[in-house]
Amino acid sequence: MQKGNISVHTENLFPIIKKFLYSDHEIFLRELISNAVDATQKLSVLGARGEIDGNLGELKIKITADEKAKTITISDNGIGMTAEEIEKYINQIAFSGAEEFVEKYKDSTDTQIIGHFGLGFYSAYMVAHTVEIKTLSYQKDAKAAHWKCTGNTEFELGVGKRKTRGTDIILHIAEDSLDFLQKWKINELLTKYCKFLPVEIEFDDKIINNPNPIWKKSPADLKDEDYTAFYTELFPFQEAPLFWIHINVDYPFNLTGVLYFPKAKREMELAKDRIKLYSNQVFVTDQVNEIVPDYLMLLQGIIDSPDIPLNVSRSALQSDSNVKKITSHISKKVADKLHELYKKDQADFESKWSTMSLFVKYGIISDEKFDERAKQFCLLKNCEGQFTTIEDYLTKISAVQTDKDGNKIALYTTDRDKQYAFIEPLLAKGYDVLIFDESIDNHYIMHLEQKNEKFQIKRVDSASVDKIIDKGETSESVLGEDAIKLVTESIENQFDKETFKVEMQALSPSDQFITVTRNEFDRRMREMNQNGGGGMYSFMANMPEKFDVVVNTNHDSISKLANETDEATRNLKARQLSDLALLAQNMLHGEKLSSFINRSVAAN
């Protein structure tokens, strides 16, 4: 029996591992099972090369828990180890430079600097006071070996009694970690970390994993039913996804996975746990914001790459050029897939647009490369339900919706019902009105204006009908100067002069009698600030909002108002018309609304 000390000349190794390296104790099971998987796969490789005689048998990993003995055992029938290999790979901590690591970083709390030290096996000491290894190498005439070590670096290594090839790792669970002996807890951890490991894992007489998940298969061998079934396995109780992207890259880095487009909600929901990162089918994390851009956090699924650099605890990504390349590739694959779907079936793509437009717009304003690709499939929708790409829309409106300065003017509504009174006169003029009713649209609209020269986008209530696309044409008023002065005075008396500016315009008799409009830029900035994105314009939120009141001097109601000889009656009619204009903008509330209703009832 050999006795000795692990080749780290300090008693502080295990406390450092426990405190800094593996702060999340539950991952011990992932690390030890991953080692067992490696041992099993190494055996398969040797067998495939003909370096092992005979049948390898059924290769699997078995987990057992004994609450009475307070042990957890991880058993494999993989490659096994000799006593010499235990000395090399366990006692010397896999040539990891652990001694240097301990001396250099024993007072540090920064796990990012750890690097690759190969300390996975020692995560066992987060939950165990003693660990045993019982192993027999696949090598001919090898002798079984038995290793035992408490958490103070002292070990015993001698001849073992194991009769079959493979390794048992026996954890004697510490008193402060006895909850890990519960079967439901082990099952939970196996499901979380080992659900897709490439070797069958048995627990409680059941195989708990899927060793060959669809992202490891060729897309040519899969049907739609396979993808939807896998989605249900990942995200039970959710509606079927709209579509998916199968990623399969082997150069210049390895990257596989499946990303699903769920039926998105109207509001932005960036979940940080919908996309899970695996490394060689071992679950690493669901915090993937360093690999996946924010706008793709609306997607769901799995990414698997052995080339993503992780710290030794696998809890965080380390800075590496591959990370940026992988991020860029994922974005490109998503854009390519959307373009492919658009070209394949435009009508079907349009029917799904409302459920994916949010993340596409988010991607456009946050990623220039995605923006360039998205021009081919990003759609605009108008009030008639017609869809157009951005470039096609600019061509469509150029003939009619160009102002006197050569600017193309796109018009839009955020609520067709509430803004109906503004929309109808514009449609009557042959103008096209888009629908922008998502929380991100103010940002998106500004992006479109910045990216397209001489292009402006205005909400339908941002100006009177003749001024919203100013063609430099003027109409004559049917009212004389004295009548206009009288009407102006009567209308101005109904509005707070600090908030409302009254202006007379000679419009078509069919246009609104009085229109309350709001400055497009000012309104946008205020709404963006309310949604937490006003930036440098957030100061506007504390300033009183200003409105323009446009009085149509050619409307019959205004002519009647001008001809009213009784001042009290004229003022009453002016108040009624003004309140109707405010009501159209949902700006009549409280006492003023009640007073308006009472006047309307009395008039009948």
Do 330 and 461 lie in a common domain? no
Do 67 and 13 lie in a common domain? yes
Do 289 and 393 lie in a common domain? no
For residue 293, is the peptide bond before it cis, meaning its omega torsion is within 30 degrees of 0?
Answer: no
Neighbour-count burial for 536-556, b at 16+ CB within 10 Å, e otherwise: eeeebeeeeeebbbbbbbbbe
Last residue of a domain, one of 157, 181, 204: 204
Percent of the chain with pLDDT over 70: 85
**Local confidence band at 324 (pLDDT 50, 70, 90 cut-offs):** confident
User: How far apart are alpha carbons 585 and 592 in whole angstroms?
Assistant: 14
Read off the pLDDT of each residue in 467-493 and give the average, rounded to a whole number: 85
- Domain assignment present for residue 349? The answer is no
User: How far apart are alpha carbons 178 and 193 in whole angstroms?
Assistant: 20
Domain at 308, CATH number: 3.30.230.80
Q: Could you read off the pLDDT of 192-233 as tens digits, one per residue?
A: 999 999 999 999 999 999 999 999 999 999 999 999 999 999
**Local confidence band at 114 (pLDDT 50, 70, 90 cut-offs):** very low
Residue 98 has a pLDDT of 39
Last residue of a domain, one of 174, 204, 234: 204
Domain residue limits at 307: 214-344
Please, what is the average pLDDT of the chain?
Answer: 84
Read off the pLDDT of each residue in 270-276 and give the average, rounded to a whole number: 70
Q: Which two tokens stand for residue 457?
A: 């986008």
Q: Which residues lie below 8 Å from residue 453, measured CB to CB, with a gap of 6+?
A: none
pTM: 0.77
Read off the pLDDT of each residue in 565-578 and give the average, rounded to a whole number: 89
Do 120 and 240 lie in a common domain? no
Do 405 and 533 lie in a common domain? no
Do 239 and 386 lie in a common domain? no
Do 335 and 393 lie in a common domain? no
- Domain assignment present for residue 437? The answer is no
Domain at 113, CATH number: 3.30.565.10
**Local confidence band at 163 (pLDDT 50, 70, 90 cut-offs):** very high
Do 186 and 220 lie in a common domain? no
User: How far apart are alpha carbons 173 and 69 in whole angstroms?
Assistant: 9
Last residue of a domain, one of 325, 344, 363: 344
> Considering its fold, how many domains does the chain have in total?
4
Read off the pLDDT of each residue in 588-604 and give the average, rounded to a whole number: 85
Do 238 and 310 lie in a common domain? yes
- Domain assignment present for residue 435? The answer is no
- Alpha helices, DSSP H only, in 269-415? 321-344, 346-366, 368-374, 390-397
Residue 399 backbone zone (phi > 0: left; psi -120 to 50: alpha; other: beta): alpha
- Domain assignment present for residue 124? The answer is yes
- Domain assignment present for residue 438? The answer is no
pLDDT tops 60 at residue 313: no
Do 141 and 159 lie in a common domain? yes
- Domain assignment present for residue 369? The answer is no
Domain at 509, CATH number: 1.20.120.790
Do 391 and 459 lie in a common domain? yes
- Domain assignment present for residue 440? The answer is no
Do 141 and 258 lie in a common domain? no
- Domain assignment present for residue 87? The answer is yes
Percent of the chain with pLDDT over 90: 43
Q: Could you read off the pLDDT of 71-88 as tens digits, one per residue?
A: 999 999 999 999 998 988
